[in-house]
Chains A and B, each alone.
Chain A
Amino acid sequence: MTNSTPAPAVEYDEFGVRLPLVDPAGSVHLHVPATHAHLTIVRSTVAASVARGGVTVDDVDDLRLAAHEACNLLIDDAVENAFMTVSLLVKDDQVHLTCSTLTRREDPLPSDTLSWTVLSTLVSSISNRIDPQHPHRLLRINIQHSVQIPS
């Protein structure tokens, strides 16, 4: 079926999280309750997604741990009944992983905790911020990791 009007590229969910409707890059998005019980789903999904991108097992392990650790940090301060969104994109030899949730925090996460130290050791770069433009306080952890993709 041909369509004369192009489909909107993104939609916003009820919390204002930007979810693409069309994405040629094939990113993966996971939207689950922000509870420890759902960390398993996050870990498995991230591992399966990056493994299909052809990265090495070491990188799969690292990203699985990083996703777990990042979401663990989000869950600690999430508002009641919050969802967390994990977005993942493997592009060339770069993996971009964003984890976000509605937070009770006033300020971004401090970088002097053991968790943050572990995260920054684990991946190429990591940052977090609370979106000031956002109608709710959305805490977002951005992870970028250079991976090896053997040909």
Chain B
Amino acid sequence: MDATVARQRERDLVEEFAGLALDDPTRAKVREALIVIHQPLVRSLAYRYAGRGEPIDDLIQAGSIGLIQAVDRFDPERSESFTGFAVATILGEIRKHFRDHTWSIRVPRRMQEIAQQVSIARTELEQELKRSPTVKEIADRLGVGLDEVLDALEAAQAYTTHSLDAPSIEGASTREPGADDDAIAAVLKRLDLAPALAALDDDERALLRMRFVEELSQTEIAERLDVDQSQVSRRLAHILLRLRNRMAPPTA
């Protein structure tokens, strides 16, 4: 099948799928066809992250989840290209897999455990106190020292560094045969920001949309979400920093 025909078929499928009612009996078939023809895309993206300590099959599986989400969530009226949208969600799921399953730097097991306890205690205390707890309050709750909590808070940031976002340079040995690399490379070039955005959760994307698309002020967003303006400010700053870290070339 030649590339133009393949692309036309993809477009047709996407359009057909979007036009089908949820209970349409042909929907499942079209959905499956869409998933099948995009498998090479998933594999190609997964191989970009090969050799980082995670089995390639797990990465492909995570990417497939992203693909299925892309199929189910794609709205042709809001996004121009399905492939572009799919790349973003697939990479989002692969990165999420790394976040959930690996630490980007070696963190001692005990520290990982404390980091987890600190994170839980922080959320619990936030709900109990209706404000962010102090470091001492967390330390007291867990019966550990201030320093341990501080180390754990710092260690928790090891989950999200930019190293993961710089795709490894891969030779022919790890490249998936048959993958349409040029077409994907072209899509990826245009999508520098999109994968970074895909790594955000729905709340974070909603927040960015309100601030930068709807151009609401922080106070207006705070009113809409029924939270404090300072919380909006803080969350926006964290999101922007994360985006920047994901897009910036790795520094020394």
Contact = CB atoms under 8 A, between A and B. Distances in A.
B148 to A, nearest CB: 12
Interface in B230-252: 233-234, 236-238, 240-241, 244, 251-252
Contact of B154 (A47, A62, A121): A47
B43 interface: no
A69 B131 CA distance: 25
A8 interface: no
Q: Is the interface of B mostly helix, strand, loop or mixed?
A: helix
A115 interface: yes
B150 A55 contact: no
B95 interface: no
**How many residues of A sit at the interface, in one of the four size bands?**
20 to 34
B40 interface: no
A56 B133 contact: yes
Nearest to B137: A150
Interface in A47-67: 47-48, 51-52, 54-62, 64-65
Given A51-B135, A150-B129, A60 B238 contact: no
B240 A114 contact: yes
Contacts of B251: 36, 72
Contacts of B147: 48
B168 interface: no
Contacts of A44: 150, 154
A60 B137 CA distance: 13
A57 B236 contact: no
Contacts of A69: 241
Nearest to A40: B154
B241 to A, nearest CB: 5
B122 interface: yes
B31 to A, nearest CB: 39
Interface of A: 35-37, 43-44, 47-48, 51-52, 54-62, 64-65, 69, 72, 114-115, 117-118, 121-122, 148-150
Task: Give the 9 A-B CB pairs with smallest separation, nearest first.
Answer: A56-B132, A58-B132, A51-B135, A121-B237, A36-B252, A122-B237, A118-B240, A57-B132, A118-B241
18 contacts: A35-B252, A47-B154, A51-B135, A51-B150, A54-B136, A55-B134, A57-B138, A57-B153, A59-B132, A61-B238, A62-B237, A65-B237, A72-B251, A114-B240, A115-B244, A121-B240, A122-B237, A148-B131
